[in-house]
Homo-oligomer: A and B are copies of this chain.
Amino acid sequence: MSNIGFKKNKKLDCSFAEFKNADLKLVSGLILKDFKLAFKTFGSLNQNKTNAILICHALTGDQYVSGQNPITDRDGWWSRMVGPDKPIDTNKFFVICSNVLGGCAGSTGPKENKDYDKNQDEIYGRDFPSITIKDMVNAQAKLIDALGIDQLFSVVGGSMGAMQALQWSIDFPNKIQTIIHIAGALKHSAQNIAFHEVGRQAIMNDPNWHKGNYLEKKSIPERGLSVARMIAHITYLSEDAMHRKFGRKLQSRDIISFGFDADFQIESYLRYQGRSFVERFDANSYLYLTRAMDYFDHSETYRKTLEFINNENNHIKYLVISFTSDWLFPTRENKEIVKILNNLSKNVSFLEIETDKGHDSFLLDEPDLDFAMKGFLESNFGKEDE
C-alpha cells in the first residue's frame, strides 16, 4: 500500500514528500516504486483550499522560486514574480513549487540514492529511468493530492514549466481552474532538439562523465557540462539583446590579445555562465531533463490531445504568453496552442510581449508580463475565495 510522509530539511530550507510503494508508472513502461519530491510553499492555504498555485520550473530551475536559495545563496529564480504584493501575491495565494522528478535539487533523480532512506548507498546515475514531462506532472499530481488539495487555482510555468502546465491541462483538466503558459510549445522543435543534442554530446564526451557513473568515481564532467550550458545560454538570449549588452566590446583590454583568451565580453560572460552552472547542477540531470523536453510532442499525439483538451471536465481558463524575440519557443509555436484552444471554443487569452530579451524574458524584468499575470490571476480568483 502506498505510504506518504512529509519531512522538513533545515539545511536545504525545503520540505520533502516521500512516496513509498507509490508505483509511479512512467511513460516508458517502467515503474518507479518509491520517490521523493523536494518542494517549497509560500503563503497560506485558505480554508476552502481554493487559493493554491503550482509553479512549474524550467530546465535548470528548482523549488526555490522565491526567497533565498540555500544552494546558490542567491535570490530564488522568480523572486521578482512571487512574494507578498508581487504579481503572484503570496498574501493572497498559496504557492507550491517542487523540484521536478529527475531534477537535482533534492527530488528523486540520477544524482540521488536509489533508496532515499539510505539503508543502502547506491546512486542512480544512468540507472535512473528515462522520464517525460508527463511523468513529472504525474509525480506533482501525487504531491498536490498528498497536500489535500482537490483543485489548483492555477498551474503556472515558463519554458519546460510551460510544457508541464500544458500537460497538467491535458491529464488533469478537472483539477485546475486556470493555466498560465509562458514561452512554450506543442512540441519541441528540430532545432531545439539539435541544440540539446550537442549539449548532451559535450557532456557524454567528457572523459569525467564515466558513462554516467562520475559520482562513484568522485569526478564531475564539469568541462562538458560547462560547454552544454554555454550553448544553451546563447539560445536563451536574443541576438539583439546580445548585441545591445555586449556587442563587440572587449573584456579588459583596449586591444585584442591575438590569442584564445576571452577578448570579448560575450566570451567572458559565457565562460562565467558555464563555470557557475557546474557548481549548482548535475550533469546526468541535464541529460534526463533535456531528453524529457525533446520527447514532448502533442502535435504527434494531436488527436488524443484534442480529446483531452476537449474533455467536458475542462473548464480551464488559459493565458498563453510569448515574447517577440524568443527564437527557442517563438510566438508562432505558442500560437499553435492558442489556435487549438480557440477551435475548441475553450477560454483562452493570448499575449505577445514586445521585448528584445529573448527566451529568458520570462525570468527578467518585463513589466508587461507582471501586469498580465497579476491581472489574469486576480480577475479569475473569485471574491468569495479570498
Contact = CB atoms under 8 A, between A and B. Distances in A.
Interface of A: 27-28, 129-130, 187-191, 193-195, 197-198, 200-202, 204-207, 223-224, 226-227, 230-231, 234, 239, 242-243, 245-248, 256, 258-260, 262-264, 266-267, 270-271, 274, 287, 291, 294-295, 297, 299-300, 327
27 contacts: A129-B258, A187-B248, A188-B248, A189-B242, A189-B248, A190-B239, A190-B247, A190-B264, A190-B266, A193-B248, A193-B266, A194-B234, A195-B234, A197-B262, A197-B264, A197-B271, A200-B260, A201-B230, A201-B271, A201-B274, A205-B223, A207-B207, A239-B327, A256-B295, A260-B287, A263-B294, A264-B294
Contacts of A231: 198, 231
Contacts of A295: 256
Contacts of A28: 258
A187 B262 CA distance: 18
A248 B201 contact: no
A270 B192 CA distance: 13
Count the copies.
2
B291 A194 contact: no
Q: Which of A194, A206, A262, A270 has the most CB of B within 10 A?
A: A194
Given A198-B270, A201-B274, 15 more contacts: A189-B248, A190-B247, A190-B266, A191-B239, A197-B230, A197-B262, A198-B227, A201-B226, A202-B202, A207-B207, A231-B231, A239-B327, A248-B297, A260-B291, A263-B294
Most buried by B among A198, A246, A256, A259: A198
Given A130-B259, A227-B202, A300-B248, A197 B267 contact: yes
Contacts of A291: 260
A256 B193 CA distance: 14
A234 B234 CA distance: 13
Closest 10 A/B residue pairs (Cβ): A130-B258, A205-B223, A28-B258, A190-B242, A198-B230, A191-B239, A197-B267, A190-B246, A190-B266, A202-B227
